[in-house]
């Protein structure tokens, strides 16, 4: 398929946005700022999109992420699992002139449901761009960590863990938060937390941080890393079978923590460049749209 004509690709999230000018299937210019959807008034998205065009050119614009949520520009809805890039391209939601938003993906099994918005472009883009095989388990750590299964190049199911959000809640509002002022890094305290998570009593393990602080069994400087190990360890144990390979789309800091935890539960990781995966996905969607 011939490369599509120039356009702007936007990954527009809750707190940040990143946009690229794409020419001949490659990013030739990029901008990033903190104008996530929460920084845009509900009637301000056309203006906010015009800012992007002012910097990257007056071109068609294809967006993904929370900009397509009910708090964003328009609600772009969800396509069901199993989902492909073709499914996403067939359901683009028009938002302003020469601008479209990629829908999210929903997964429903019985009474259980899950949703994603933005991650689907990375996940399916990783496969389309040759960054991951067509059969893979992928993980996107963060505030809401996504665990996805790709089979035959199709997103078949996924689960979201509120790992990062729970860490922030505990640090900022819990009794144990008073001790969680140290840095989080891979090290003995993080690995002790990962090991402790194997006992399956997360709520008791978390209170243990308070008791260990009171009894001076652990330096408070290590508490945050230990709690991170408990939460990420519990997350990985629930999702990773021994022997499994996980394709990890993460920034370096979280990538290191998840690699340590996944290896501790008997898995292995392959790093995937999440921006490259996003670009491969959104360019393919634009090709399918044209």
Q: Which residues bind a second copy (CB under 8 A)?
A: 78, 106, 108, 111-115, 144-145, 147, 159-163, 165-166, 169-170, 172-176, 192, 196, 199-204, 206-208, 210-212, 214-215, 217-218, 231, 234-235, 237-239
Tokens of 119: 């991650």
| Pick 123 or 176: Cβ nearer a second copy | 176
CB of 66 to a second copy, least distance (A): 12
CB of 120 to a second copy, least distance (A): 14
What distance in Å separates the CA atoms of residue 110 and residue 195, rounded to the nearest whole number? 33
CB of 163 to a second copy, least distance (A): 5
What distance in Å separates the CA atoms of residue 247 and residue 140, rounded to the nearest whole number? 9
What distance in Å separates the CA atoms of residue 229 and residue 54, rounded to the nearest whole number? 44
| Pick 4 or 138: Cβ nearer a second copy | 138
| Pick 6 or 159: Cβ nearer a second copy | 159
CB of 78 to a second copy, least distance (A): 8
CB of 32 to a second copy, least distance (A): 24
| Pick 136 or 230: Cβ nearer a second copy | 230
What distance in Å separates the CA atoms of residue 70 and residue 84, rounded to the nearest whole number? 23
Q: If we measure between CA atoms, which residue out of 69, 74, 97 comes closest to residue 13?
A: 69
DSSP 159-218: EEE-HHHHHHHHHHHSGGGGGTTS---SSHHHHHHHHHGGGS-HHHHHHHHHHHHHTT-S
| Pick 61 or 170: Cβ nearer a second copy | 170
223-239 and 163-173 helices, crossing angle to 10°: 150
């Amino acid at each position: 398929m011939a490369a599509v004509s120039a356009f702007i690709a936007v990954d527009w999230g809750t707190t940040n946005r990143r946009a690229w000018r794409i020419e001949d299937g490659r990013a030739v210019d990029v901008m990033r700022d903190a104008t996530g959807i929460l920084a845009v008034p509900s009637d301000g998205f056309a203006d906010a999109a015009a800012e992007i065009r002012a910097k990257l050119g007056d071109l068609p614009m294809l967006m993904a992420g929370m900009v397509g949520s009910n708090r964003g520009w328009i609600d772009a809805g969800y396509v069901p699992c199993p989902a492909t890039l073709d499914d996403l391209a067939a359901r683009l939601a028009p938002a302003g002139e020469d601008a479209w938003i990629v829908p999210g993906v929903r997964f429903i099994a019985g009474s259980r449901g899950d949703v994603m918005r933005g991650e689907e472009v990375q996940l399916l883009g990783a496969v389309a761009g040759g960054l991951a095989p067509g059969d893979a388990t992928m993980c996107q750590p963060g505030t809401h960590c996504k665990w996805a299964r790709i089979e035959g190049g199709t997103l078949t199911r996924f689960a979201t863990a509120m790992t990062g959000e729970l860490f922030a809640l505990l640090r900022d509002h819990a009794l144990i938060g008073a001790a969680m002022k140290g840095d989080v890094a891979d090290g003995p305290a993080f690995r002790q937390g990962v090991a402790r998570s194997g006992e399956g009593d997360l709520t008791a393990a978390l209170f243990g941080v308070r008791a260990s602080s009171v009894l001076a069994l652990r330096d408070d400087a290590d508490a945050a890393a230990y709690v991170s190990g408990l939460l990420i360890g519990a997350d990985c144990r629930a999702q990773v079978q021994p022997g499994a390979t996980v394709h990890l789309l993460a920034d370096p800091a979280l990538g290191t923590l998840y690699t340590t935890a996944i290896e501790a539960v008997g898995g292995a990781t392959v790093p995937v460049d999440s921006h490259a995966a996003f670009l491969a996905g959104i360019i393919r969607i634009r090709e399918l749209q044209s």
